[in-house]
Amino acid sequence: MSVRAFAAHLGVAVSSVTNWEHSGEGIRLRDETQEILDRDLSRASDDVRERFEAMLAGPVAGVIAAGASDGARRLEYAMAHPSRADLITVSYLREQLADLDAAYDREPSAALLGPTAERHGQIAFLRLHASNGRVQHELLGAFAESGILMGQLVWDASLRRDHASSLSYFAAAADAATECGDRILNARAQLRSSLVALYGQQDPVTGLEMAAQAAATSHTASNALTGLALLHVAEAHAMRQHARSCEDALHAADTHIGKVNGSDGAALLLAPFDVSRMAGSCYLHLNDAPKAALLLAETLQYAGQTKAAAVAAANLALSFTRQHKIDEAVGSLHRAIDIVDATRGGGGLTVAFTAGRALNPWRHDPAVQLAQDRLLALMAT
């Protein structure tokens, strides 16, 4: 509660509560004041008393005891009394979303859809009923975050086919981000929309427009996000065979990414290998297979077993195939299949099938047959 609300709740003067806070642990209360507080604690719910006792045990014990379980209890209470949702409840929901978002690159999207949809629905419900203005503002940001993640998951789980649902989530997220004045969330939603245009609808013109808009939105808010957006601007130019514009955008992206520091609100969105990964994809579009292969091989030294690594490995297989290096192409395709089998990433699977089809002229080679059979088996599971 606020100081004023707590004073009204106890039936004492606001100045009394202010004095208690200022005095800290050294305060000595009058007997009648202590009696009021004791009586209020005795009437409190079990979970309030448990938290109170845990905090008396010390700051660390209090945090441990009151952590996730307290957040879950607060959320349950807020869902039953939505007008009384508070900032701590919103913070708990955003922490849950952050955990789900962190799992995105390594976990199957279908497995994350259920819990993310639940959080998205809870946030949407509380957003409609919360009475506190600051809570409503924070819920707008949380709604934008959950909408962006929902759009990612729906698109990935549908193997990048359900464009309409994903774009609907991204548009609603952008609207919420605009309403609460969060340029980073707005740019993230715009950038995600550009990916659907580029890789789903195969529309580099719209993709270029959306990626450029994301870069402009985030320009003074985050070097990391501006750099990421410019990497996709570069790929859109590469898809249109505009080599000079592509390389200019790659250079601009590298400049922004070089300025990223710990205070950047979107720094965690940027992986160390993003520049080489995206540059490799650009040069593959520009039909410079040797240069693409060098960049993609560098990417795979750091990318681990992520969905982005699956795309890079499949693109590397394409680069080797175009150079008629079939053994290397098959090896890279097997790596892409291994990662897709673990993560079920729609992007990795789509590019892996493209790489598999590119090997058709060598389909009578037993090694190529084995890789193509693995792709078919992957699709069937």
Segment 282-323, tens digit of pLDDT: 999 999 999 999 999 999 988 888 999 999 999 999 999 999
* pLDDT at 56 (0 to 100): 67
> What pLDDT, on the 0 to 100 scale, is given for residue 265?
83
What's the pLDDT tens digit per position in 69-93?
678 888 999 999 999 899 989 999 9
Predicted confidence (pLDDT) at residue 2 exceeds the cutoff of 80: no
Q: In the predicted model, is pLDDT for residue 30 greater than 70?
A: yes
Q: Give the span between the Cα atoms of 275 and 255, in whole angstroms.
A: 11
Residue 54 has pLDDT above 80, yes or no: no
Q: For residue 10, is pLDDT > 80?
A: yes
Q: How far apart are CA 346 and CA 307, in angstroms?
A: 8
Residue 211 confidence (pLDDT) above 90: yes
How far are the Cα atoms of 84, 129, 130 from residue 133, in angstroms, in the given order? 11, 11, 8
Check pLDDT > 80 for residue 57: no
Amino acid letter, residue 296: L
Q: What's the average model confidence in pLDDT over 142-159?
A: 95
CA dist 268 and 250 (Å) reads 20
Find the mean pLDDT for residues 218-232. 95
- Give the number of other Cβ atoms within 10 Å of residue 165's Cβ: 14
Mean pLDDT of the residues in the chain: 89
pLDDT digits (tens, 9 = 90+) for 367-376: 999 999 999 9
More confident residue, 263 or 14: 263
Angle formed by the axes of helices 68-80 and 46-56, to 10°? Answer: 150
pLDDT at 19 over 60: yes
29/238: higher pLDDT: 238
User: Cα–Cα distance between 191 and 187 in angstroms, integer?
Assistant: 6
pTM: 0.77
Residue 58's pLDDT band (cuts 50, 70, 90): low
How far apart are alpha carbons 152 and 162 in whole angstroms? 11
Does 256 score more than 90 pLDDT?
yes
Confidence band, pLDDT 50/70/90 cuts, at residue 65: very low
What's the pLDDT band for 64 if we cut at 50, 70, 90? very low
